[in-house]
Chain A
Amino acid sequence: MNEFWVLLTGSLVGITCGLTGVFLILRKTAMIADAISHTVLFGIVVAFMITQSLSGYWMLIGAAIAGLLTTFLVQVLQSGGLQEDAAIGVVFTSLFALGVLFITLFAGNVHLDVEHVLMGEIAFVPWDTWDVFGFSMPKAVWMLLFVLLLNVLFLVFFYKEIKLSTFDPVFALSIGLPILAMHYSYMTLVSLTTVAAFDSVGAVLVVAMLIGPAATAYLMSKSVSGMIVWSMTFGVTAAITGYYLAKLWNTSIAGMMAAMIGVIFMLVFLFKPHDGWIWKTFKRMKLQKTNIQANS
């Protein structure tokens, strides 16, 4: 049964992050997600310092605020004349350092240790349960289901709008879509997804799960809906294979899942028919050969 919960949690992380990640890739904001996954630590520490509790709600709220703050600060620095990559770099490293400092100063003895935040402890997920409406399920599963629901609702209601503001922001603005509000609400969703996932799998795997499957799906499909399906499939596949390999070699589950994302990406990148790297190299060699023959 414990194995089932761990697998379910991993798959839910794959589905939720895969879904959210698609628009990160399309909007070219992948590195903001990386930044948010680091600053979420800051949000959680501040939420703990204010409420003195480690309950899931406060963590979600603190993380959402930290995510918004990150997005906002990056935007402010950019409009202040700093290039985007440096703006992201300055904001997340500073907030992360502040988070680490706060932990050592004010929260030394609680369960909030930084290594846990980075690597997660998915193996412990089944023991931390919540009872809601008589159902007893692990806390991580409840939180992931809640965030997945939010993500699905957002996409159901604003699918057209987010697509338009992603591919043609100027047109979207001209027909009166609030593209800045869309950007911020989407980034809030990213931070909520991050915090729901990272309590169980750690910040590193969250970034891998947000970016990796969606980036692989971007290579596979030319339509947004196709990308979403591929991305979630890759996420779940990486979670399940990663879990069993980690069990086989007795090593970090989250790390192995991230490694599997890398393997899946490399498989698609190298072997995909028509535009995989090997196919393309082969075609180029063939072309060169025929050219040489034609010339001689």
Chain B
Amino acid sequence: MLTGNLLWVLVGAILLGIAAGLNGTFAFLQKQSLVGDAAAHAALPGIAIAYLIFQQKDLPILMLGAAITSALAVYMIQWIVGHSKLKADAAIGFVLSVFFGIGIVLLTIVNQTGAGNQSGLNDFIFGKAATMAKSDLVWLSSSALLIILMCLLFFKEWKLMIFDPVFAKGIGLPVERLRVLLTALTVLTIVTGIQAVGIILMSAMLIIPAAAARFWSNHLGIILVTSAFFGALSGALGTIVSSFRTGLSTGPIIVLCAASLFLISYFFAPTRGLISKSLKKKAFKQRNVAKEATNHE
């Protein structure tokens, strides 16, 4: 059953999982997880505008439109936080909902134009990985490969930028430009994935594997590898499970696979998992009690 298109979908989902896992870890460590959510929602107006201007649904054009509005949303969040007393969470929530609202206005207009009804733009909201065309999958895979490559290339610089920005600036790294590059890459990841898993669940691909991987280690390298592995595994499992039955959308299943991996990590991870932590606490208490007892003797 793993023939033709499904094989391509599987490859695409795995590569997307790795890319989102790597990129999501950096966003997670910068405490910017929800910015990704806003950027994903903000892709919708871009897709609609690109379609309205060019009247065709070639993936690269739609992706370009999505990238522009996503980047604009991220920039707007930073602008609002920088120039008013509003906190980040309010700015994110505001930008997210307004951009998505504008997106829906434009989508309604697209659906009213003659050919727009068949344009399939609605698929972008929930994704349609299983029925993607092969040319789109090639785009998805090459874009994901590019993201993975960039993450490996800038690993050291980003690591320094995240954990010690002052030192990074001191040794002459262009910290601001590195930050912009990371944001740009996050936007690219989102834009790459939205056709497959959909706008609303794309942010899950960025957040959940990274959050799960955090429970397994305190070393950035290991967290990155674990997160990429979780992303790939949930991409693969989600694609296979959703191919068993028609009518199951791939996006939600991929996210639920990632969520299961998160739950396993949350409870059973050896270093920071809940069970190992409570065991350690118990052992610590017992040791103290024993020590107290010997002290009293």
Could you tell me which A residues sit within 8 Å of B by CB distance? 25, 28-31, 33-34, 38, 77, 80-83, 85-90, 93-94, 96-98, 100-101, 104-105, 108, 114-115, 118-119, 204-205, 207-208, 210-212, 214-215, 218-219, 246, 249-252, 254-259, 261-262, 265, 269, 275, 277, 280
Contacts and interface: CB of A to CB of B under 8 A. Distances in A.
Interface stretch (B60-68, B100-108, B144-152): B100-108
B101 A258 contact: yes
Contacts, number: 191
24 contacts: A25-B90, A28-B87, A30-B90, A31-B34, A82-B214, A89-B33, A89-B203, A90-B262, A94-B259, A98-B256, A104-B249, A104-B252, A105-B248, A114-B126, A207-B93, A208-B101, A218-B85, A218-B90, A249-B105, A255-B101, A255-B107, A255-B108, A258-B98, A261-B101
Q: Is the interface of A mostly helix, strand, loop or mixed?
A: helix
Contacts of A77: 266
A251 B266 CA distance: 45
A140 B75 CA distance: 37
Contact of A93 (B85, B94, B207): B207
B290 to A, nearest CB: 27
Contacts of B258: 94
B297 to A, nearest CB: 37
Q: Report which residue of B87, B90, B99, B274 has the largest number of chain A beta carbons within 10 angstroms of its beta carbon.
A: B90
A7 to B, nearest CB: 18
B201 interface: yes
Given A29-B89, A255-B102, A212 B274 contact: no
Contacts of B182: none
Task: List 6 A-B pairs, minimum CB-CB distance, nearest first.
Answer: A258-B101, A93-B204, A262-B98, A255-B104, A208-B97, A89-B207
B80 interface: yes
Contact of B211 (A25, A31, A86, A254): A86
A252 to B, nearest CB: 4
Given A83-B28, A215-B94, A254-B104, 10 more contacts: A88-B34, A89-B207, A90-B208, A90-B211, A93-B204, A108-B247, A207-B93, A215-B86, A218-B85, A259-B102
A97 B214 contact: no
Interface band, chain B: 35 or more
B19 to A, nearest CB: 17
Contacts of B3: none
Q: Report which residue of A77, A89, A204 has the largest number of chain B beta carbons within 10 angstroms of its beta carbon.
A: A89
Given A31-B89, A258-B97, A86 B207 contact: yes
Interface in B196-230: 200-201, 203-204, 207-208, 210-211, 214-215
